[in-house]
A and B are shown apart, each in its own frame.
Chain A
Amino acid sequence: MFAYTLRRLGLALVTLWLATLLVFGALLLIPGNPAQAILGIEATPADLEALEARLGLDKPPLERYISWLGGVLRGDLGQSIRYERPISELIVARLGITLPIVVASLLLATILAVPLGILAARKAGSPIDLGVSVASLLGIVLPSFWVGLMFIYIFIVWLKLPLPTSFPIGGWENPERALAALVLPVLTVALASASFLVRLVRGSVLEVLSQDFIRTARAKGLAERVVLYKHALRNAALPVVTVLGLEFASLLIATVVVETVFGIPGLGSLSLTAISARDYPLVQGVVLVIAAFIVLMNLLVDLLYGLLDPRVSYA
């Protein structure tokens, strides 16, 4: 188990390094440069050269990458070109908004999706099952920016609920307002996520229910409740747990859209700003952090698997 974890960690580090290399290469390929983004179209070539020199952009790319990587290994993500601030400080501040959204959305989505999915599986083919299917299909196909806007109009403009339409100025200085500002974004993200999860839970439970050991359990005369909760769900949970881990990572990225609609200064909007400003070190920093989350989640899921499924061994 210990050796396995160590091996996985080593693999994770290689993955992260490859991710940084990939991002750095991709940024070199897209046109545009940070100095021009800062100075705009009226800037003269002399202005641009002066700024590039100040930002250290006149050095060759490989040199820039190596010095950035050296910084990362020392635990220093460097300075943002656009904001002239330490990147770690920017990312920590943004994670302080995006992580609560992602965690709360995932919790809410699970609380909604698991019981509904089980219900739909048990009553497969009934009107309830059909209702859940249609609703979840809607949740999947409706774009979240539209859902978000509808929520704003329904809850704030019409029903006059005292919720802010965007993250308040001053942020967490005013915790109630800040939390209130996250209610609708969490609902929006959770709805999309739950729609996807509910289908997965339903499918997974249905598949387990059709297996031999369930038939055996029922033949033994066990109560349906015991069959379901003691035997079926534990097995049905395996694929759901896997997906939950991956879903966490994909939500980190999916929040970009919701953050735009709700004017939330989270990690998603930071990455948009970084890309459009061609703030290379900042893009690399954000990607590194997101990739780290993904790798970590995968690792956690694999380790959890062992706990849930005795057939998995870590030799």
Chain B
Amino acid sequence: MKRWLLIGVLALLGLAWAQQRGGSITIAIQTEPAAWDPTQVAGADISRVVYDNVLQGLVKRNPKGEIVPSLATRWVVSNSGLTYTFTLRQGVKFHDGSDFTAQDVLAKFNRARNPDTRASGHLRPDLYRDIANITSPNPNTVVFSLRQPNNDFLFILSRPESLIGPRQRPLAEQRVQPIGTGPFRFAAWERGVAVRLERNPNYYLQGLPYLDRVNFRFLGDGDAQLAGLRAGDLDVIAYSLLPENAVVLSRDSNFKVFSGSGTAEAVAGFNNSRPPFNDVRVRRAITLATNKDELIQGAMLGYGTKIGSMRSPGEACYVDLSNFNAYNPDEARRLLAEAGFTNQNPLRFTFNLAAEFPYERRIGEAMVAQLNKLGPLQVTIQVTDFNTWIQRVFSQADYAMTIIGHVEANDIGNYANPRYYWRYNSPRFQQLFTQYLRAPNQTKACEALAAAQRLLAEDAAGVWVMSLPALGAYRARVQNWPDGFLSPGISVAEVWVRP
């Protein structure tokens, strides 16, 4: 036993010694964002690059989804849940050499909560509505006073919108070349090609980062990504690796394929306000006619996790409802007949797909094939580009059914918004969600959130087909790649390469 312990310790030490400083890697991501400041422009790919690599907030979500210290070293929440006191890390500098101070924090969150977005240039002031005021009693401390308790408050502070830049920095410059406190500084943005990050030599955590340079290459074509990885032009395919390419790479010892559950749910959503989808029997029937296991196996070659409500297994307060309303075509036909739809008089509707998303598109096409096999359903597919989808489906709710991946963590609250494109208006759900937000403690908060997940499933407010896999691959020389997918960013501070 003792000997094993010793060997274990030595092995760990060996790992620690082996970590090499220097070198660079190139990581492929799918799309090129419009800009790089998540407080001004939204997009999952912005966060993937800059979150915790370039820009940091008071707290951050690590790859396992835990909220941990970042620019604040600790915090205290008052018993009332109304006061959050943060102790700031000392001696931190922004990449431009200026000091990070409490004044930057105050300026940032006063800008964030300003309802006049035209003046502030800041997205989503609604997130910060509950902040009554922010003060700094001394240079090391920042105090947030809330109007009412909000269980999501720390989570909100861990969101990409809450990242902090220098208060003097003009917004237009921060958009194209963000300055932050992270382990890497934003060196260059080659439009259409890549973003280059370089080591921040003054990073406050000793010995980090290991890499000198990190390139994020925009490469949307899955086959081109695979070719680049095999030829050595790319070191990592960060996400959205095509399942068939994952199978090929997993047989090759030169590459490591990683797959896990992230925070993205593939939601086949109904327009709940439009007949017949305002009838719970019809929604349940469509859920019962969907064979999720077959979709995971067939469309995604086994990559993906079955779910039954708007939450992924890695998220807090998750309730496993994956076998709720499980595949049952006979019951589906019975319910449809009750609602007046039979083989002779089928329910006809259009299913909208956005062309740009390889996973959702396959899943959607396979799901429509399943629905059409049932008999009383006649579904046609309409594929458009994402921008058209946003306008028609998302902004105007001019659709019957659609499928899209909802990447954000903790986004079940969208069902509490009756104006959201699902047009789901359930006073009971809204009440449960408010209960969760205002709960006096974590246990009560989870109880409310569990009830909310169940209610959605019973209401069949959507078909939650699967938690989409965080699926990617890297060359064997890449070490210490983050082994969790519950952070908005791809944190590369501790990644190193074997020479």
Binding site for B on A (CB under 8 A): 30-33, 36-44, 46-47, 49-50, 53-54, 82-85, 90, 93-94, 149, 152-153, 156-157, 164-167, 169-171, 260-263, 265, 269-270, 273, 276-278
Contact = CB atoms under 8 A, between A and B. Distances in A.
Interface string B348-388: 00000000100000000000000000000000000011111
B192 A166 contact: no
Contact of B217 (A30, A39, A43, A263): A263
B394 interface: yes
Given A84-B176, A157-B230, A40 B224 contact: no
B217 A169 contact: yes
Report the 4 A-B pairs with minimum CB-CB distance, sorted nearest first: A32-B387, A265-B192, A40-B42, A50-B118
B227 interface: yes
A98 to B, nearest CB: 12
Given A33-B387, A93-B191, 12 more contacts: A30-B388, A32-B385, A32-B388, A40-B390, A41-B42, A164-B233, A170-B190, A260-B220, A263-B219, A265-B191, A269-B192, A277-B387
A166 B224 contact: yes
Given A37-B34, A42-B124, A269-B192, A166 B228 contact: yes
Contacts of B233: 164-166
Contacts of B42: 39-43
B293 to A, nearest CB: 29
Given A83-B191, A170-B190, A263-B221, A41 B390 contact: yes
30 contacts: A30-B388, A32-B391, A33-B387, A33-B391, A37-B387, A38-B34, A38-B35, A39-B42, A40-B43, A40-B44, A43-B123, A44-B123, A84-B176, A85-B191, A165-B224, A165-B228, A165-B233, A166-B217, A167-B193, A169-B26, A169-B215, A171-B190, A260-B220, A261-B221, A262-B224, A263-B224, A273-B32, A276-B356, A276-B387, A277-B34
Interface in B115-135: 115, 117-118, 121, 123-126
Contacts of A33: 387, 391
B459 to A, nearest CB: 22
A53 B116 CA distance: 13
Interface in B211-227: 215, 217, 219-221, 223-224, 227
A265 B193 contact: yes
A270 B391 CA distance: 22
Contacts, number: 130
A39 B123 contact: yes
Contacts of B26: 169
Contacts of B395: 36
Contact of B390 (A32, A49, A53, A153): A32
B117 A31 contact: no
Nearest to A40: B42
A171 B385 CA distance: 29
B172 to A, nearest CB: 7
Given A38-B35, A157-B227, A263-B221, A47 B388 contact: no
B447 to A, nearest CB: 27
A220 B233 CA distance: 63
B394 A41 contact: yes
A313 B183 CA distance: 71
Given A41-B394, A157-B231, A260-B224, A47 B194 contact: no
A47 B124 contact: yes
A82 B189 CA distance: 14
Interface in B96-126: 115, 117-118, 121, 123-126
B41 interface: yes
A169 B192 contact: no
Contacts of A38: 34-35, 41
B217 to A, nearest CB: 7
A47 B230 CA distance: 42
Nearest to B356: A276
Contacts of B21: none
Contacts of B228: 165-166, 263
Contact of A276 (B172, B196, B230, B385): B385
Contacts of A165: 224, 227-228, 231, 233
A169 B32 CA distance: 14
Nearest to A272: B220
A33 B115 CA distance: 23
Interface in B389-445: 390-392, 394-395, 404, 408
A41 to B, nearest CB: 5
Contacts of A54: 118, 121
A276 B386 contact: yes
Q: Which of A46, A83, A166 has the most CB of B within 10 A?
A: A166
Contacts of A169: 26, 190, 193-194, 196, 215, 217
Contacts of A85: 191
